């Protein structure tokens, strides 16, 4: 593996604030956020309905009395009051950026940002890049489609913000992207974990050696993969680079970032966001270290802020000090799963990331798809697997069945998928399909 630079910061003073000062800064930020929200129709109505007033919230402790906000609510608001809903703090004239979500789980959500919001996005990406040791010396390749998706534009603008030379990989085939990465001696590649594996596979077929390329660092989000041990290891081996995770959402921001301590836990950006972890069922806060759903409030996105937004992401928070020196809390294993994508297989609760971890340990597997069938009230899994050596599929099948049995204690069905038939994902992978019986 190529060497990683020394531990670096985007804003050392802020990233190493003691937690008492950090809490005070968050309380101050919350007061400003509430003032902004009081002028937004959607939130005024929400507070009215809950019989609350903005002045009654004095700090982080009071926040737990405030109703949550969900993506479904924001989408419904935009449908009821098109096109943007009563979600904006300022007249439209003041906004300079408009993006939308992919809408895979419903209507796309439109998100608007002012110049000030964009500056905050750049700062958040500053933490992501500097956390991964990326600097002005670097050449950053963004392997995205650059559609209406906010993360693609913030990733490339963020790279420029820290002074790096940023290359857009939009509108290109995988081969064109690989050649651009190699020809330009790019040192950093930003993409989803799935796409990093796909590029590695494509490189092998083309006879291109990524391990001897200049790529030293890969940065991933969009899926939990980069914090899933075997996915991370496989990306690192294929690229000869160090793989960094981060997390974000269009309607929230880039809210978590990895660091060079590579502790297996990624930092929460508590400077631009307030985080709570709740029990998805009861909505009550859970103790540090207990797995729960992450709830986020935005402190530095005044154009279209969110309050107690339920991300649906399951996390385990820790405030233990990190070897990198940052005092910001971390989440162990990154995003562990989604509150709504848990599978229940013969009494075993299972998240897709556990399946990903298991399958990615087997180097012969190139791509896979999971069909979930409901049989007698229980979920049953059929795995369709594509391998690099189709003729020796029986060995792979045996290994998969044995791994499921020994590691997860469940029985699954395995089927061979013909070479090149499973979709290759550039954006968020959608490998799970529910099938009606
Ligand atoms: Zn750290």
- Ligand 1 center to 52 CA (angstroms): 38
- Ligand 1 center to 322 CA (angstroms): 5
Task: Check whether 351 has a pLDDT greater than 90.
Answer: no
Q: What is the mean pLDDT of residues 343-350?
A: 74
pLDDT at 316: 97
From the list 26, 32, 33, the residue with the least C-alpha distance to 61 is 26
For 206-217, what is each residue's pLDDT tens digit?
999 999 999 999
CA distance 229 to 154: 27
> In the 8-state DSSP scheme, what is residue 355?
H
Residue 336 has phi, psi (to 5 degrees) of: -85, -20
Contacts of residue 420, defined as CB under 8 A and 6 or more positions apart, other chains included, come to 386
CA distance 383 to 372: 9
Three-state secondary-structure class, residue 368: strand
- Ligand 1 center to 329 CA (angstroms): 9
Least confident among 86-95, 114-123, 184-193, 385-394 = 385-394
- Ligand 1 center to 15 CA (angstroms): 10
- Ligand 1 center to 289 CA (angstroms): 17
Contact between residue 60 and residue 26 where contact means Cβ atoms under 8 Å apart:
yes
- Ligand 1 center to 360 CA (angstroms): 26
Tokens found for residue 71 = 């993506």
- Ligand 1 center to 118 CA (angstroms): 25
Q: What is the mean pLDDT of residues 122-134?
A: 98
pLDDT at 372: 87
- Ligand 1 center to 330 CA (angstroms): 8
- Ligand 1 center to 265 CA (angstroms): 8
Least confident among 36-50, 266-280, 330-344 = 330-344
H or E element, residue 277: strand 273-278
CA distance 172 to 204: 18
Taking the CA atoms of residue 296, residue 337, residue 102 and residue 150 in that order, the dihedral angle to the nearest 10 degrees is 50
- Ligand 1 center to 267 CA (angstroms): 6
- Ligand 1 center to 231 CA (angstroms): 20
pLDDT at 349: 75
Which residue has tokens 């897709």?
352
Task: Check whether 77 has a pLDDT greater than 60.
Answer: yes
**Count of Cβ atoms closer than 10 Å to residue 328 Cβ:** 25
Residue 276, beta-bridge partner list: 295
pLDDT at 374: 76
Tokens found for residue 95 = 């906004």
- Ligand 1 center to 323 CA (angstroms): 6
pLDDT at 3: 63
**Count of Cβ atoms closer than 10 Å to residue 148 Cβ:** 17
Tokens found for residue 261 = 């301590």
- Ligand 1 center to 30 CA (angstroms): 25
CA distances from 126 to 10, 22, 132, 162, 354 (A): 6, 19, 10, 6, 30
- Ligand 1 center to 325 CA (angstroms): 6
């Amino acid at each position: 593996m190529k060497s990683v630079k020394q531990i670096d910061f985007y804003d050392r003073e802020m990233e190493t604030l003691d937690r008492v000062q950090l809490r005070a800064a968050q309380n101050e930020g919350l007061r400003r956020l509430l003032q902004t929200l009081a002028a937004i129709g959607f939130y005024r109505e929400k507070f009215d309905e809950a019989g609350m007033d903005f002045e009654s919230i004095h700090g982080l402790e009071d926040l737990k009395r405030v109703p949550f906000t969900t993506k479904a609510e924001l989408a419904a608001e935009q449908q009821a009051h098109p096109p943007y809903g009563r979600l904006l703090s300022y007249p439209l004239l003041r906004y300079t950026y408009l993006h939308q979500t992919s809408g895979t789980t419903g209507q796309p959500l439109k998100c608007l940002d002012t110049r000030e919001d964009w500056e905050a996005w750049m700062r958040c990406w500053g933490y992501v890049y500097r956390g991964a040791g990326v600097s002005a010396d670097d050449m950053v390749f963004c392997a995205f489609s650059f559609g209406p998706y906010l993360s693609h534009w913030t990733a490339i603008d963020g790279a420029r913000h820290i002074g790096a030379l940023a290359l857009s990989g939009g509108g290109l085939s995988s081969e064109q992207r690989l050649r651009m990465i190699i020809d330009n001696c790019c040192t950093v590649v930003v993409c989803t974990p799935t796409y990093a594996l796909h590029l590695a596979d494509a490189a092998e077929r083309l006879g291109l050696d990524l391990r001897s390329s200049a790529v030293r660092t890969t940065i991933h989000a969009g899926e939990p993969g980069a914090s899933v041990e075997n996915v991370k290891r496989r990306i690192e081996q294929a690229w000869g680079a160090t793989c960094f995770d981060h997390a974000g959402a269009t309607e929230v921001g880039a809210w978590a970032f990895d660091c060079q301590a590579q502790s297996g836990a990624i930092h929460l950006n508590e400077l631009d966001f307030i985080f709570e972890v709740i029990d998805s069922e009861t909505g009550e806060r859970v103790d540090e270290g207990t797995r729960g759903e992450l709830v986020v409030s935005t402190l530095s996105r005044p154009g279209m802020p969110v309050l107690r937004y339920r991300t649906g992401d399951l996390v385990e928070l820790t405030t233990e000090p990190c070897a990198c020196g940052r005092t910001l809390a971390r989440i162990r294993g990154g995003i562990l799963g989604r509150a709504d994508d848990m599978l229940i297989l013969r009494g075993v609760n299972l998240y897709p990331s556990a399946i990903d971890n298991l399958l990615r340990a087997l180097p012969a597997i190139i791509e896979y798809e999971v069909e979930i069938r409901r049989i007698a009230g229980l979920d049953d899994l059929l795995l369709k697997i594509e391998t690099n050596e189709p003729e020796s599929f029986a060995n792979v099948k045996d290994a998969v069945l044995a791994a499921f049995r020994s590691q997860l204690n469940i029985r699954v069905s395995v089927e061979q998928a013909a070479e090149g038939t499973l979709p290759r994902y550039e954006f968020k992978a959608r490998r799970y399909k529910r099938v009606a019986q």
